[in-house]
Amino acid sequence: MTDLKLDIAFWNYDRTRALSDGKVRIPGVDAKYHSGSNVAEIFRGMVAERRFDVAELGLTYFLRTFKDGESPFVAIPVFPVRSFRHSAIFVNANSGINKPEDLNGKTIGELALYSHDAGIVPKGVLMEEFGFKPETCRWLIGGLDWPLKPIDFVPHTHPANVKVDDAPSGKDLGAMLDAGEIDALISADPPKCILEHSPRVRRLFPDYKKVERDYYKRTGIFPIMHTVVMRRELLKDTRKSRRWSTRAFVMPRRPRKTDTGSASSSTTWTRCSPGSAN
């Protein structure tokens, strides 16, 4: 029997690298693996361009592909990225934000898309544990100091009572935070001003590792960021697709001892460097 030819895309993670470097093969599949300059490009390639048969996709991006109760994609229970996001909240030191409750009524920037994967989780935690009310804030959506194409391939939905605008053209949300033009920023990627230790900015939770460990101990929740999806027609054509897809991503999960840092690493608290994106 001829192997099924599939184009499969995911970011360069330690837990998937055994697939892309050929050390683990999917039985019955002739796979060609793809990646991108950032994970959003993989999402675009799957959602807008249909360049892949199976791909990593942000969970909130997947939910935005539904129309009339159905998506052109089927998700499988594989989650290449899970991450705590207390570390993703940054504030201007002169904004008057000294505790989470102080975020109410402020102007807050958010990377890429309102309530994308790395944005919806911190909002939920803040709402559930600190009485945060997103509808009291003004939200500005934009980029940081590295190239990111507009996220124009999924709907930009948000609650009707939440005010959301695009950041001014050419403006970097990190620079706006440093200058005090916005009070806070939610971003999986630390802005340049944080990386350069500007005295004008800081994390809302400076000891975020301790806070995130405590959150997990209390709730047992390790938030899902990304899942893996396949084109729905592929599932209809090959009944066993779901099974081999799940097995394929489970088999190479053991991380290599030499892998450290960024979202490509399985080590939870090394994912706070540029490139972790959505």
| 2-13 confidence digits (pLDDT tens) | 788 899 999 988
Predicted confidence band of residue 148 (pLDDT cuts 50, 70, 90): confident
| 188-220 confidence digits (pLDDT tens) | 999 999 999 999 999 999 999 999 999 999 999
CB 47 within 8 A of CB 153: yes
How much is the pLDDT for 133?
98
With helix as H, strand as E and coil as C, how does the chain read? CCCEEEEEECCCCCCCHHHHCCCCCCCCEEEEEECCCCHHHHHHHHHCCCCCCEEEEEHHHHHCCCECCECCEEEEEEEEEECCCHHHEEEECCCCCCCHHHHCCCEEEEECCCCCHHHHHHHHHHHHHHCCCHHHCEEEEEECCCCCCCCCCCCCCCCCCCEEEECCCCCEHHHHHHHCCCCEEECCCCCHHHHCCCCCEEECCCCHHHHHHHHHHHHCCCCEEEEEEEEHHHHHHCCCHHHHHHHHHHCCCCCCCCCCCCCCCCCHHHCCCCCCCC
Q: Between these two residues, 118 and 278, which has the higher pLDDT value?
A: 118
How much is the pLDDT for 156?
94
CB 185 within 8 A of CB 174: yes
Residue the block writes with tokens 């959003």: 40
Cα dihedral across residues 275, 43, 182, 159: positive or negative: negative
Task: Specify the pTM.
Answer: 0.86
User: HSE-up of 59 (CA within 13 Å, CB side)?
Assistant: 19
User: HSE-up of 267 (CA within 13 Å, CB side)?
Assistant: 12
Domains of the chain, each with CATH number or no CATH? 4-83+224-270 (3.40.190.10), 86-218 (3.40.190.10)
Q: Which residues contact 6 (CB under 8 A, 6 or more apart)?
A: 26, 29, 30, 31, 32, 53, 54, 234
| 55-112 confidence digits (pLDDT tens) | 999 999 999 999 999 999 999 999 999 999 999 999 999 999 999 999 999 999 999 9
| Mean pLDDT of the residues in the chain | 87
| 24-42 confidence digits (pLDDT tens) | 888 888 899 999 988 999 9
- Is the predicted pLDDT of residue 239 greater than 60, yes or no? no
